[in-house]
Structure 1
Amino acid sequence: MSEKKETDYEVGQDNVQVLGLDIHNPVFAISGLTIVAFVFFSLVFREQAGEFFGWLRVALTSRFDWVFMIACNIFVVFSLLLIVTPYGSIRLGGADAKPDYSYAGWISMLFAAGMGIGLVFWGVAEPISHYGASLGGVATGEDGLRTDWAPLGAAADNPQGARDLAMAATIFHWGLHPWAIYAVVALALAFFSFNKGLPLTMRSVFYPIFGEATWGPLGHIIDVLAVFATIFGLATSLGLGATQALAGLNYLFGVPVTDGMKVLLIIIITAFALVSVVAGLDKGVKRLSEANMMLAAALLVLVLIVGPTIAILSGFFTNLVDYAVQLPALSNWIGREDTNFMQGWTTFYWAWWISWSPFVGMFIARISRGRTVREFVTCVLLIPTLVGALWMSVFGNAGLEQVMAGGADALQEAGLELKMFVMFEAFPMSSLLSLVGIILVVVFFVTSSDSGSLVIDTITAGGKTNAPTAQRVFWCILEGAIAIVLLLGGGLGALQAAAIATGFPFAIILVLMCVSIFIGLSREKR
């Protein structure tokens, strides 16, 4: 089947040439100028910016938590249905399309782009944070453990029950729901670009719903929102990565943890990302992603070997069962008494994943030509969920074993960015493990930044995938600047507020995207 064109709209027909750049008018101008203005005013009014970000996060998560919860449940159900329906046999790019990348290269790139820095940052920090301490309720058991998970039907008033719930909650935040978000966006972009011949931009996805209005002001708004969501979602992860890398350098080598050092680290790593961006998708991003996955696998195996191996391996299967058992209760938004947990953790995570979805979705779409819908959704949804559960089980179980054995007060009291390094202290080769962890954070930082720059450049170039290199460089530098500004203007809270603010409007857009995908696939199957 050859590619079909739904419209007379041509890729780049609205583009203008400015100083050798090939930019989409007005998406590039509005996005670029607005973000530059944001950077300027946030630096000038740092105190006011910090107060605003602190207010914004609480306001959005407390008032609109139900929007995020319902939307993400829809994405999971919709994705699973696509696997079992006849639409699953449709091939992205037409019946004769062949995959551009091997399974190993494909999965490495989508995984490195989708969750890299977050897995390293939260692998130890989140399970220990949840363990009887931060799930949001107020009741406390006799042993000092929080009992606010009781509404979910589990006994959190004993150490083992608290451990099981902590791991179930962690895997919930890194499992089916986030990858369903990515799968919906990536499938929509790949299908309407490869099968319908439309530009590889967010607006194209809504052509079945809005028709030719997609190419007017409505489409401009969609693409601009996609740019905002992408760059602030990336900045959140880059800020987390820089914070953890600097904490590790301080822990190992005594490097001072100051705002100046954070800025310097972001600048240095952004420079590495620029090299990868200039090299392009195949030479830069693909090779770096594959190297990153090998490094991550090496760290995983090292922790598995030097840590409590039997407990970790048995815990992996137990954690999957606990996740499946608790999934309905964790996904529910009605009558929840653990509101601090649902709003402070789950709502933030869903907003963060949604803000990442234009970036990760478009990146996955670009590398997924030739896959069937069933193959695509299965691999994007289920394989990363299992790998993420394995990662969290290895690092989370290793940390929780130390805590439950006693004498791990330093691990529990350490800051979020330090928990992994403090845990390594109890293992042989602790310095080596910490050094590999720092390198992994840095490389994940680079792969997220360079692939994100390619995606934003595609959106702001009207769907062109071969826009001038200078445009990619511009967006890469701007990503680093945003991360710096948010860190200086309010730290982790500011980063999280920015992700939530941009994720909220996109949650509604993604629900409409499901409708558009269904219309498009049903027409293709006739």
Structure 2
Amino acid sequence: MTHDDDPILTPGQDNKQILGLDFHNPVFPVSALAILAFILYALIYPDQSNSQMTAARGFAIEHFDWLFMIAGNVFVILCLALIVLPLGRIRLGGPSARPEHSTISWFSMLFAAGMGIGLMFWSVAEPVAYYTDWYGTPLNAAPGTPEGASAAMGATMFHWGLHPWAIYAVVGLSLAFFAYNRGLPLTLRSAFTPLLGQHVRGWVGHVIDIVAVLSTIFGLATSLGFGATQAAGGLNYLFDIPNTLGTQLAIIVGVTAVALYSVWRGIDGGVKLFSNINMVIALVLLLFVIFTGSTLLFVNGLWDTSVAYLTHILPLSNWVGRDDQTWYHGWTVFYWAWWISWSPFVGMFIARVSRGRTVREFLMAVLLVPTLVTVVWMTAFGGNALAQSADGVGALANGIGEVSLAMFQMLEQLPLTTLTSTMAIILVLVFFITSSDSGSLVIDSITAGGKIDAPRSQRVFWATLEGVIAGILLYGGGDKALGALQAGAVTTGLPFTFILLVMCVGLVKSLREEHRSLSRLAPA
């Protein structure tokens, strides 16, 4: 249902066609120039750029921790409220709209884009890190004790459960509603039309979209760069393949090549295909860990993990008078800034594949189902890792060394280590591919003025650029250059927190208008 015969924005408005590209002016050129300038700066002055960006990130986390925490809580409460309120019956795309993707494929795509790669690395490393006091403990729980284990699992679920998914859900729902129910372009600025009106066509809207592009491309490039070093570490650990710059660059080239194939094929032929492959491999690996580890430990752990999460969620959500400042700022506030900086990318991708779902169905699939899946995943992998650490078994008995190796060290204590570790590496790489290609589709949509049918060459441009940025920074500046880019991406979480809070106001206002309009049209 469209509420305006002459919408403020239309897809592709103000676009320019140059060299076969159909890009929005000035979002595309300004974004490209800003990316080029930052990359050159990070390459020429890696130490200086790293220290400056790290300082900016530290300032945001230290001085605005209260804002990140309050915002995260607001997003969760809003999403839960919309599930139970009558507004949840509103359908994205209007009453007659129907889903474009099966429920399984839909969930696979949103989960792969959202945080699949993170769960591969942190489901083992994070609870063991908290349990062994690697960098502080949550709520100052005593390390190496049953209480410490409970706090470790509760805090890990806190970081991967309702709060991060609520951040993605708010952005995804806002963009989906304004694109499919109000006929606006699928860009971040569209969510601000209820509050900004015609101003979204000017520089206010341009800045919102440009920051979204920069946040997305920087986040994806740093993840690909660091992920290549982590995957190379895993290959070295398992197969003695040298963990050299050449190996890392080869991984980036391989991932980028497959991502290019995927974005060329589009949603159905590329992203959906690889997302479904991801979920099958992940399910097989999950079942293997459950049944070859201690099945009884897993069954009991499901209850323990759920109770630990519910027990600790309120104290961990608090931002006043925290005694665990080192842990709190180094983990929770950093995570919230990181999730928020990724929200334009993940939220927009989720919106793109969610037409035809009701608000209630959307929020249950984006918020509740992933949280339940994460409970199962964390119990299987994190529970096994904690048991090995507590029992003094294997490498994890000594705590966390390299985060990238924690998963392989846990699998080393189970049967068929080489097979399962190879599956884990494949899963990591395919998660990188799905993140890269879904991110490229999102950036393509933003820089094309909200069009979802921009030329294929434009998608290829952005997918290639992600790999090029990661490779150049890794080659020219190493971890310091990548660290500067990552710190810059996390720092964008601060302005985006304000943007998301304003977005919530506009979303609720427009959903209420939509509900009143549908109520008037309903038969008596």
* TM-score category (smaller protein): over 0.9
Within 5 Å, which residues of 2 pair with 1:455-474? 455-474=442-461
Q: Does 1:272 align with 2:255?
A: no
Structure 2: how far apart are the matches of 1:28 and 1:279? 22
Unaligned runs of 5+ in 1: 137-145
Q: Secondary structure at the match of 1:7?
A: coil
CA offsets 1:305-361 (integer angstroms, 9 cap, x no match): 211221122112211111111111001100001111111111111111111111111
Unaligned runs of 5+ in 2: 517-524
Q: Which residue of 2 aligns with 1:515?
A: 505
Q: Which residue of 1 aligns with 2:107?
A: 107
Q: Which moved more, 1:235-244 or 1:510-519?
A: 235-244
| Aligned AA (1:419) | A
Q: Which residue of 2 aligns with 1:501?
A: 491
- In 2, are the aligned partners of 1:156 and 1:162 still within 8 Å (CA)? yes
Q: Which residue of 2 aligns with 1:127?
A: 127
CA offsets 1:131-165 (integer angstroms, 9 cap, x no match): 140453xxxxxxxxx6x725xxxx63662111111
Q: Which of 360, 379, 385 is the equivalent residue of 1:393?
A: 379
- TM-score normalized by structure 2? 0.94
Give the drift of 1:413. Answer: 4.3
Q: Which residue of 1 aligns with 2:74?
A: 74
Give the drift of 1:214. Answer: 0.8
Q: Which residue of 2 aligns with 1:46?
A: 46
Structure 2: how far apart are the matches of 1:125 and 1:90? 41
- In 2, are the aligned partners of 1:190 and 1:369 still within 8 Å (CA)? yes
Cα distance, 1:339–1:482 mapped onto 2, change above 3 Å: farther
Q: Which residue of 2 aligns with 1:437?
A: 424
| Aligned AA (2:192) | F
Structure 1: how far apart are the matches of 2:424 and 2:468? 24
Structure 1: how far apart are the matches of 2:350 and 2:269? 17
Q: Secondary structure at the match of 2:16?
A: strand
Q: Which moved more, 1:368-377 or 1:239-248?
A: 239-248
Give the drift of 1:485. Answer: 5.3
Structure 1: how far apart are the matches of 2:9 and 2:319? 42
Q: Which residue of 1 aligns with 2:515?
A: 525
Q: Which residue of 1 aligns with 2:160?
A: 174
Within 5 Å, which residues of 2 pair with 1:81-100? 81-100=81-100
- In 2, are the aligned partners of 1:316 and 1:389 still within 8 Å (CA)? yes
Q: Which of 224, 245, 250 is the equivalent residue of 2:231?
A: 245
- In 2, are the aligned partners of 1:49 and 1:489 still within 8 Å (CA)? no
Q: Which runs of 4+ in 1 moved over 6 A?
A: none
Structure 2: how far apart are the matches of 1:415 and 1:496? 19
Give the drift of 1:261. Answer: 2.6
- In 1, are the aligned partners of 2:259 and 2:463 still within 8 Å (CA)? yes
Give the drift of 1:63. Answer: 1.7
Q: Which residue of 2 aligns with 1:309?
A: 295
Structure 1: how far apart are the matches of 2:118 and 2:167? 16
Give the drift of 1:494. Answer: 3.9
Give the drift of 1:495. Answer: 5.5
| Aligned AA (2:447) | T
Q: Secondary structure at the match of 1:280?
A: helix
Structure 2: how far apart are the matches of 1:469 and 1:270? 16
Cα distance, 1:321–1:338 mapped onto 2, change above 3 Å: same
- In 1, are the aligned partners of 2:46 and 2:481 still within 8 Å (CA)? no
Structure 2: how far apart are the matches of 1:370 and 1:59? 42
Q: Which moved more, 1:1-10 or 1:112-121?
A: 1-10
- In 1, are the aligned partners of 2:131 and 2:143 still within 8 Å (CA)? no
Within 5 Å, which residues of 2 pair with 1:59-458? 59-134=59-134, 136=136, 149-150=139-140, 156=142, 159-409=145-395, 412-458=399-445
| Aligned AA (2:462) | W
Q: Secondary structure at the match of 1:149?
A: helix
Q: Which residue of 2 aligns with 1:476?
A: 463
Q: Which residue of 1 aligns with 2:520?
A: none
Cα distance, 1:258–1:96 mapped onto 2, change above 3 Å: same
CA offsets 1:43-96 (integer angstroms, 9 cap, x no match): 222232333343333232212211211111111111111111111111110011
- TM-score normalized by structure 1? 0.94
Cα distance, 1:8–1:173 mapped onto 2, change above 3 Å: closer
- In 2, are the aligned partners of 1:351 and 1:499 still within 8 Å (CA)? no
Q: Secondary structure at the match of 1:22?
A: strand
Structure 2: how far apart are the matches of 1:17 and 1:510? 32
Structure 2: how far apart are the matches of 1:524 and 1:389? 35
Q: Which residue of 1 aligns with 2:521?
A: none
Structure 2: how far apart are the matches of 1:109 and 1:448? 10
Cα distance, 1:311–1:240 mapped onto 2, change above 3 Å: farther
Structure 2: how far apart are the matches of 1:5 and 1:369? 21
CA offsets 1:5-56 (integer angstroms, 9 cap, x no match): 5625322120001111100000000101110221222122223233334333
Cα distance, 1:35–1:158 mapped onto 2, change above 3 Å: closer
Give the drift of 1:238. Answer: 2.3
Q: In angstroms, what is the RMSD of aligned CA positions? A: 1.8
| Aligned AA (2:30) | I
| Aligned AA (2:491) | A
Structure 2: how far apart are the matches of 1:451 and 1:90? 26
Q: Which moved more, 1:491-500 or 1:264-273?
A: 491-500
Cα distance, 1:421–1:409 mapped onto 2, change above 3 Å: closer
Cα distance, 1:117–1:107 mapped onto 2, change above 3 Å: same
- Aligned residue pairs total 512
Q: Secondary structure at the match of 1:525?
A: helix
